[in-house]
Amino acid sequence: TPVTDSTSGFRAMNRKAVSTLFVHNRFTYTLETLIQAGKAGLVVENVKITTNAKTRESRLFSSIPEYLR
């Protein structure tokens, strides 16, 4: 299944997927879990999401030190 937006940050997993995939830290779930799911033969599907208009500035840069650890 082609994944159209793998970096959106949204994931939904059943119990089997949660017990099969290894999450190293809170940033792991982005691309690594898709690779792990494919290698484990798990089904991956796209689910369309909608987003709200921007209401604040991004907090991305404040989390960089934790990501680099």
- Say what percent of the chain tops pLDDT 90: 4
Tens digit of each residue's pLDDT (9 = 90 or more) over 10-37:
778 888 888 888 877 666 667 888 888 8
Over residues 34-52, the mean pLDDT reads 86
The tokens of 26 are what?
């809170």
Over residues 27-49, the mean pLDDT reads 83
Query: According to the 3-state scheme, what is the secondary structure of the chain?
Result: CCCCCCCCCCCCCCHHHHHHCCCCCCCCCCCHHHHHHHHCCCCCCCCCCCCCCCCCCCCCHHHHHHHHC
- Say what percent of the chain tops pLDDT 70: 83
Query: Does 56 score more than 80 pLDDT?
Result: yes
